[in-house]
Amino acid sequence: MKPEAPASGAALDAPLARIAHAAHEAIIAIDESQHIVMLNPAAQQMFGCSAADALGSPLSRFIPERYRAAHGENVRAFADSGVPERSMAERATVVGLRANGEEFPAAVTIARIDGTGPFAEGRHFAALLCDLSTEQGLRFEIEALRRSFRTVVEFAPNAVWIAEAERIVFVNRACIALFGADSADQLLGRSIYELLHAPSRDAVRAAVARVLRCGDGGGDGMTLLGERVERLDGTLRDVDIALAALPDHGQTTLQMVISDVTRQRRESLEQEQAREALRKLSQRLVEVREEERRRIARELHDELGQRLTALKMELASLAPKSRRSALRERIGGMLEMLDDTVASLRRISADLRPLMLDDLGLDAAIEWLARDAARRMGIEVTVKLADSVPALDERVSIALYRMVQEALTNIARHAHASDVHIELAQQSGELVLTVCDNGVGFPAGAAAKEGSFGLLGIRERALALGGTLEVDNPPAGGGRLCVRVPLAPPAPDAPPAPPTLPASGPTPEVAP
């Protein structure tokens, strides 16, 4: 049976009753069984229900049926948690139900009432509600969101500042730490450009103008920059800056999120320098190997080749003088062995270093490679060499020769091709070497695939000349390998240009 309804604040001590009665916010008090024990005038107006009608009734009458079970569990869990106060609408609104059946969104803060007077026995709870469907409620929600936003920004791990007319009006804790300040007062009021490294200011100034003019940096609402900032002690930090306009603060308000990437850029620079050092070492090893190959090939040709030729001549001169046929047959067999040995010697010498590359040039060497591959592989190999290719220095010639040699070896091992075409041309200040076949083509990612040492070697030789390697499978089928190198490649002993950071200007010391 519903108890007799007292006045709206009759259950409260007089001071609390006066406060609740005068409050502009709706206040409802409930007991442990979630029955209403107090409903102030603002709550009566919000729900369209008098205190006399509401007191003693369950709170669920003001909650849509689909939310009642979940709401009851939330209140019970809150009561058992021992937490004295909690906002129930920080992330989302709850839904209320007026006496006329109308639903409305509301922000709710609930607190446990322990203590005195009518609340001395049992547990009681008071709920403060704001109707978000009214203008006042919307203002309340906006202000709550702003407070939440400020809290999130204040404790964000990245530095954040907000600037008004290019002057800093807000900084978070991470921003204070990034610039080495003791407090926000050391940064507030400064020009945003004052805290940038001088070579970075023009780029940021242009980005700010673009953001203020267009409202964003290019359609996604944000401009990203890689620049440098200057701490209060003068040391520099490498940073990534995300710059955006705040649309609800006018056309001069900017938010900049600054990520300190000094360590990452230093590590990236060190890794790039290590890669360049390894590339130079690899290039030098290739050069040393080529020099040794040439020396051995020359000695095989000049020393061993001449001695074998002299031995053959001596044996050939003995054959007519011998009267015994058995001896002549043995001499003939030895001459055949010498012929095979000389042929093997020439083949080994050519594999080590084709003398025709030194004596006749790259064109003749590539044509010899093509004829040799056609003979060994039993396929058709055609060569097209442009007449306009200028004379090349030894380093470029041997590199291109080795690339063709490795490409043909790769085709023999993997392509199952019957036709190969080799072309060397000059295009726009570059030498373009193309090797095409009608085989099975390259697997996806072949150039970077682990174990593709042949293609890796070609790519490293191309990089050493300042060039590039591309492999693909033409629509007509087969595989295509294309190497592009400049006609004037970098000097072999010239140090590689170090990778540059996004900020322009000299590279000063940075803080550790």
Output the domain CATH number for residue 475: 3.30.565.10
Q: What is the per-residue pLDDT across 151-164, written as a single tens digit (0 to 9) for each?
A: 778 888 899 998 88
- Select from 320, 353, 386 the last residue of a domain: 353
- Given the structure tokens 């709706």, which residue do they identify? 26
With the CA atoms of 198, 200, 205 and 207 taken in that order, what torsion angle do they form, in degrees rounded to the nearest 10? 180
Residues 6 or more apart whose Cβ sits within 8 Å of residue 116 = 13
Q: Name the most confidently modeled range: 271-285, 334-348, 469-483.
A: 469-483
370 in a structural domain: yes
What are 421's strand-pairing partners?
382, 436
The identity of residue 317, as a single letter, is: S
pLDDT at 507 over 60: no
Query: What is the rounded average pLDDT of the residues 370-389?
Result: 89
Same domain, 315 and 438: no
Q: What is the pLDDT of residues 426-457, one digit of tens each?
A: 888 899 999 999 999 888 766 555 556 788 88
| 56 part of a folded domain | yes
**pLDDT at residue 499, rounded to an integer:** 42
- Tell me which of 435 and 108 has the higher pLDDT: 435
Q: Which among 16-20, 85-89, 309-313 has the top mean pLDDT?
A: 309-313
pLDDT (tens digit per residue) in 7-58: 444 455 566 667 778 888 899 988 888 899 889 999 999 999 998 899 999 9
For the segment 309-321, the average pLDDT, to the nearest whole number, is 81
In a domain, 512, yes or no: no
In whole angstroms, give the CA distance from residue 489 to residue 431.
10
Asked if residue 252 lies in contact with residue 165, where contact means CB atoms within 8 angstroms, the answer is yes
Domain boundary, last residue among 216, 237, 260 = 260
Model's pTM, two decimal places?
0.48
Inter-residue contact 43 to 26 (CB < 8 Å): yes
Helix (H, G, I), strand (E, B) or coil at 277: helix
Position 68 confidence tier, pLDDT thresholds 50, 70, 90: confident
Decide if pLDDT at 198 tops 80.
Answer: yes
- The whole-chain average pLDDT of the chain stands at 81
CATH number at residue 197: 3.30.450.20
Overall average pLDDT of the 253-267 stretch: 90
Q: Do residues 193 and 184 touch, judged by C-beta distance below 8 A?
A: no
Given pLDDT bands bounded at 50, 70 and 90, which one contains residue 138?
low
Residues 163 and 110 in one domain: no
- 55, 124, 67: which is closest to 96 by C-alpha? 67
Confirm if 386 and 425 have CB atoms less than 8 A apart. yes
Residues 369 and 479 in one domain: yes
Mean pLDDT along residues 247-274: 84
223-260 burial, b at 16+ Cβ within 10 Å, e below that, comes to: bebbbbbbeeeeebbbbbbbbbbeeeeeeebbbbbbbb
User: In angstroms, rounded to a whole number, what is the distance separating the alpha carbons of residues 106 and 446?
Assistant: 61
Q: Which residue has the higher pLDDT, 404 or 123?
A: 404
| Whether the predicted pLDDT of 101 surpasses 80 | yes
Q: H or E stretch including 39?
A: strand 36-39
Greatest Cα-to-Cα distance within the chain, rounded to the nearest angstrom: 149
Give yes or no for residue 508 having a pLDDT over 50. no
Please say if the pLDDT value at position 82 is more than 80: no
Cα atoms in the Cβ-side hemisphere of radius 13 Å centred on 301: 17
How much is the pLDDT for 445?
67
* Same domain (yes/no): 335, 235: no
Least confident range of 88-92, 332-336, 399-403: 88-92
Q: What pLDDT score was predicted for residue 238?
A: 94
Q: DSSP secondary-structure letter at 354?
A: -
Whole-angstrom distance, CA of residue 486 vs CA of residue 484:
7
Instruction: Identify the pLDDT of residue 419.
Output: 94
Confidence check: pLDDT of 121 > 70:
no
Residue 492 in tokens: 């072999």
- At residue 290, does pLDDT exceed 90? no
Q: Is the dihedral of CA 218, 223, 224, 229 positive or negative?
A: positive
> Is residue 14 classed exposed, middle or buried when 0-12, 13-18 and 19+ CB atoms within 10 A define those classes?
exposed
Least confident of 346-350, 451-455, 500-504: 500-504
Report the pLDDT value the prediction gives residue 279, as an integer from 0 to 100: 80
Residue 380: phi and psi, rounded to 5, are -90, 125
Q: Which residues contact 350 (CB under 8 A, 6 or more apart)?
A: 297, 368, 372
Q: What amino acid is encoded at 10 in this protein?
A: A
pLDDT for 460: 86
In this structure, are 337 and 418 located in the same domain?
no
- Only one residue has tokens 């020359």, namely 298
133 and 164 part of one domain:
no
Domain presence at residue 511:
no
Tell me the pLDDT band of 382, cut-offs 50, 70 and 90: very high
Highest mean pLDDT among 66-70, 115-119, 245-249: 66-70
Secondary structure (3-state) at 443? coil
Distance CA 8, CA 5 (A): 8
- pLDDT-based confidence at residue 123 (cuts at 50, 70, 90): confident
Measured in whole angstroms, the distance separating CA 458 from the mean position of its chain's CA atoms is 28
| Domain identity same for 494 and 399 | yes
**pLDDT value of residue 221:** 57
Judgement on whether residues 369 and 455 belong to the same structural domain of the protein = yes
Is residue 410 domain-resident? yes
Instruction: Say whether both 367 and 500 belong to one domain.
Output: yes
Provide the H-helix boundaries in 39-88.
Answer: 41-47, 51-54, 65-81
Is residue 316 very low, low, confident or very high in pLDDT (cuts 50, 70, 90)? confident
Residue at 440 is within a domain: yes
Question: What is the count of structural domains for the chain?
Answer: 4
* Percentage of residues of the chain with pLDDT beyond 70: 80
Provide the 3-class DSSP secondary structure of residue 482: strand
- Is 217 inside a domain boundary? yes
> 494 or 398: whose pLDDT is higher?
398
Examine residue 510 and state whether it is found in any structural domain, yes or no. Answer: no
170 and 205 belong to one structural domain = yes
Order of strands, sheet of 468-472, starting from the edge strand that comes earlier in the sequence: 380-385, 419-427, 430-437, 479-486, 468-472
Q: Is 469's pLDDT higher than 70? A: yes
| Residue 174 near residue 225 (C-beta atoms within 8 A) | no
Q: Judge whether residue 147 has pLDDT over 80.
A: no
Query: What's the rounded Cα separation, in Å, for the pair 153 and 257?
Result: 10
Q: Are residues 400 and 285 in the same domain?
A: no
Residue with more model confidence, 263 or 351? 263
Residue 379: both structure tokens together = 């396929």
Q: Domain limits at 434?
A: 361-505
Q: Tell whether the model's pLDDT for residue 179 goes beyond 70.
A: yes
C-alpha distances in Å from residue 436, one per residue of 106, 203, 382, 420, 451: 72, 46, 10, 6, 22
Query: Do 310 and 342 reside in the same domain of the chain?
Result: yes
pLDDT confidence of residue 31: 86
Cβ–Cβ under 8 Å, residues 405 and 372: no
Q: Are 364 and 356 in contact (CB under 8 A)?
A: yes
**Across 57-66, 151-160, 281-290, 296-305, which has the greatest mean pLDDT?**
57-66
Structural domain ending residue among the three candidates 353, 378, 407: 353
When mean pLDDT is compared across 90-94, 191-195, 458-462, the lowest value belongs to 90-94
